[in-house]
Chain A
Amino acid sequence: MRFLSLVSQYRVIVILGLTLVISALVVPGYLSASTLGLGLDRAATIGLIAIGLTVLLISGQIDLSGGAVFALAGIVSVILQREIGILPAAIVGILVGTLAGAVNGMLVVGLKVNSLVLTLATMLIFRSLAHWITNSQPVTGTDIMLSLALAKIYLDVFTLRSALFIALIVLLHFWLTRTIPGRNVFAVGSNPAAAKESGIASDRIVFLGFVFAGTLAGLAGVLQSLVTNTGSPVFGSELTVAVIAAVVVGGTRLEGGRGSALGTLGGVLTIGSLTIAMEFQSVPAYVQQVVSGLILILLVVLDRAVTTKGRAPGTRPALVRDNPITQGGTT
């Protein structure tokens, strides 16, 4: 079991390494800078949403509505381009994400309901709004040249999007490990009651966590819409599983109180390189779904095996069972 927990701790590196080696063997020219840059750009979409989800999961909550917010924010930013110009529209799009996150946070904190169920419902609401606004048709933006500018590759590897993702995740790493608010997020996630007793405003942290997650999903959606010059109500519907898989690959626990930004970076890179490898081999989309589903389930089972059996005596025994997400309570 000691071995298992070691594997679980450093699994990001192991899994990422394995993915890269196998992909390089199967796909010719996989390890060239342009392919990796493409993978990174693709991963950035998942990555931006994953950044928000990492913070939320550490604080013991989850947001399933990210994919729908992604679509909604993108649509708003494209539709408003004609009225108020590209940059203001993009900002409004991101603010739509912030607003959606605030709605989630307010409902979870105010009604004291399980965030899984609540964000499932708001996912339905945001997705319906996206269909409603667009009449279920994709919408196109005004300036096609902008998407070319955004897709431009710098230093052979980075696009604007992937550079932004890397910068944000490094910032998140320092925020989580070096600052007091970052540490408080861990405290709220491992034991909300104890955190409250220690004078941490748990509710506020949870609320801000949702706002943060919504904003980043909005940012990812706006960037995607600008790059493709399109907003579509079906964008992001397959993102939920991929994003959760990426974060879980990175070692962040669904039970709350544990996780890291660098782990999420590794997880996102893994999912990104896997997607690119499968697309290069023209594996059908549904097989790709099977793979990301399998990864998710296998790792969650591994986590479970390690936390229930490989735990040192007396360390966090009750948490797994008491946590609202794992057991469905409403504390």
Chain B
Amino acid sequence: MTEAAMEIGGVNRNDRFTRGSRLVGVLSKAGLAFAILAVMLYGSFVSPAFFTSGNLLNVLTSMSIVGIVVVGMTFVLVVGGLADLSVPATIACGAILSLGLQPVIGPLPAFVLAVGLAGLIGLLNGVLVGYVGINPIIATLGIGTIGLGIVQAAVGGVIVYGSNPASAEFAKGRLFGIPVVVLIFLVIALVGHFVLSRSFWGRWTLATGGNYSAAEASAVPVQAVKAGAFVITALASGISGGLLGLTLQSARPLIGGGYEFSAITAVVVGGVSIVGGFGSVPRAIAGLIFVQLLTNVMVLDGVRTPIQGFVLGILIVGAVGMDAALRKRGVS
């Protein structure tokens, strides 16, 4: 290739980069909308129970608990933090402490303290990933193991039950006909969306994930931004765990198992790039809706749980592979 051609190649590359990501955008947006419609159509054909208000409300409620985690996880992926595997620990922390501390300090302070301590786990993750520079998966795997162990040790490895009926009524109740859990999810999603797409913190998050060195050179506090994403996820999963505990009125130490995968699947299927720098909360929630509806249809269809996990795994591989393929076409 000649000098000139390389020059043009360089220019084109920039041009193609924008076209590439637009292509990614159009494909994943239209693709997801189509996929959601397809699942709904299929669901209403296979099962008469699918399009009942009771079923859809159930989907919405269970979606909300995962959804709160998804909002946080979006920040982790966008900032280039790969994934937060300590979610089961932070959910357990939120659920067990918000129930276990009820008799001691009252329901609301217990909830706040539980979420705060979950945030502390996130802070540890954040310091290790953002400041010390440790691989996020290893750091969150290690901290998650430690956190879950401590939470289990704190209650002696047993199941904790709720003792405050009023708080349970509130968590299971409805406001204007909509479950409270769903409302809380909507508020958190809106705040998350606003922060990621309209605030300086969101711009910093996108910049850090897109090009770490360039962001650092542009005086973005990259370390704090990276650490912040893990704190946000931990706070979100703490809230999610607390709500889960309050609605179930019981919490076992392994209550949060699997939520990390559900959240990662939703975010990745929504088209948020696994290597960071690209993505939004609505996108992740679209991915969540698709995955949840698909799971619901599978349940109604009588598909066994292991097969659902199998399908989720394939979905992640497919989405990650597609992300890599589209990015390659866009960038190089």
* Set of chain B residues within 8 Å of A128, measured between Cβ atoms: 306-310, 312-313
**Complex: A122 Cα to B318 Cα, angstroms:** 11
Q: Do residues B274 and A114 form an inter-chain contact, with CB atoms below 8 A? A: yes
- In the bound complex, residues from chain B placing their C-beta under 8 Å from that of A296 are 138, 141-142, 145
Q: How far is the CB of A99 from chain B (nearest CB, A)?
A: 16
**Chain A, residue nearest B144 (CB):** A293
Interface size on A, residues (CB 8 A): 49
**A113 and B305 contacting across the interface, CB-CB below 8 Å:** no
Q: B228 at the A/B interface (Cβ < 8 Å)?
A: no
Please state if B320 and A244 are interface contacts (CB–CB under 8 Å): no
Is B215 in contact with chain A by the CB < 8 A criterion? no
User: Does A294 have its Cβ within 8 Å of any Cβ on chain B?
Assistant: yes
The size bracket of the interface on B is 35 or more
The verdict on A78 contacting chain B, using a C-beta distance below 8 Å, is: no
Residues of chain B in range 258-300 having any CB-CB distance to chain A below 8 Å: 261, 264, 274-276
Cross-chain contact A289 with B141 (CB below 8 angstroms): no
Flag whether A129 is at the interface (Cβ < 8 A): yes
CB closest chain-B residue, reference A124: B313
Task: List chain A residues, Cβ under 8 A from B261.
Answer: 120, 124
B146 part of interface (Cβ distance < 8 Å):
yes
Cβ < 8 Å to B, chain A residues 123-147: 123-125, 127-132, 136
B138, B253, B276, B305: the one contacting A244 at CB < 8 Å is B138
Contact partner of B320 (CB less than 8 A), chosen from A118, A124, A131, A132, is A118
Which one of A117, A127, A244, A308 has the greatest number of beta carbons of chain B within 10 Å?
Answer: A117
The stretch from A44-52, A188-196, A323-331 touching chain B is A323-331
B148 vs chain A, min Cβ distance (A): 7
The answer to whether B134 and A304 touch across the interface, beta carbons within 8 angstroms, is: yes
- Find chain A residues with CB under 8 A from B323 CB: 113
- Chain B residue with minimal CB distance to A136? B306
B149 within 8 A of A: yes
The dominant DSSP class at the B interface is: helix
Q: Would you call B142 and A300 a contact (CB within 8 A)?
A: yes
B110 at the interface (CB under 8 A from A): no
* A180 partner residues in chain B, CB cutoff 8 A: none
- Cβ of B159 under 8 Å from chain A: no
Asked if residues A301 and B316 are in contact (CB atoms below 8 Å), the reply is: no
Give chain A nearest CB distance to B272 CB in angstroms. Answer: 12
- Chain A residues contacting B56 (CB-CB under 8 Å) are none
In the complex, residue of chain B having the shortest beta-carbon distance to the beta carbon of A308: B133
A312 contacts chain B at the CB level, 8 A cutoff: no
Known interface pairs A111-B325, A286-B253; A293-B313 also in contact (CB < 8 Å): no
Question: In the assembly, what is the distance between CA of A254 and CA of B133, in Å?
Answer: 12
Contact of B143 with A by CB under 8 A: yes
A289 touches B275 (CB 8 A): no
Interface centre among A64, A111, A121, A329 (most CB of B within 10 A): A121
Asked if B8 CB lies within 8 Å of chain A CBs, one says no
The reply on B198 being an interface residue by CB < 8 A is: no
Give A275-306 as 1s and 0s: 1 = Cβ < 8 Å from B's Cβ atoms.
00000000010111110111011001100110
Q: Is the CB of B320 within 8 A of A117?
A: yes
Main SS at interface, chain A: helix
Docked complex Cα distance between A40 and B212 (Å): 45
Q: Are A117 and B82 in contact (CB under 8 A)?
A: yes
Q: Contacts A286-B153, A289-B145, A293-B146 hold; do A327 and B316 have CB atoms under 8 A apart? A: no
Residue of A whose beta carbon sits closest to that of B89: A293
**B residues within 8 A CB of A152?**
none
User: Counting CB contacts under 8 A, is A31 at the interface?
Assistant: no
> What distance in Å separates the Cβ of B151 from its nearest Cβ neighbour in chain A?
9
B306 touching A129, Cβ below 8 Å = yes
Q: Does A20 contact B (CB under 8 A)?
A: no
- In whole Å, how far is A296's beta carbon from the nearest beta carbon of chain B? 4
Write 11 A-B pairs (CB below 8 A) sorted by A numbering: A114-B320, A117-B316, A118-B320, A136-B305, A240-B141, A294-B142, A296-B138, A300-B134, A300-B142, A326-B135, A328-B82
Please give the residue numbers on chain B whose beta carbons come within 8 Å of chain A beta carbons, in ascending order: 80-83, 128, 132-139, 141-146, 148-150, 152-153, 157, 212, 253, 261, 264, 274-276, 304-310, 312-314, 316-317, 320-321, 323-325, 327-328
Taking A131-B306, A328-B274 as given, write out 17 further A-B residue pairs in contact, using a Cβ cutoff of 8 Å, ordered by the A residue number: A111-B320, A112-B328, A114-B274, A128-B306, A136-B306, A240-B141, A244-B138, A244-B141, A286-B148, A286-B149, A286-B157, A287-B153, A288-B149, A289-B149, A300-B135, A304-B133, A328-B276
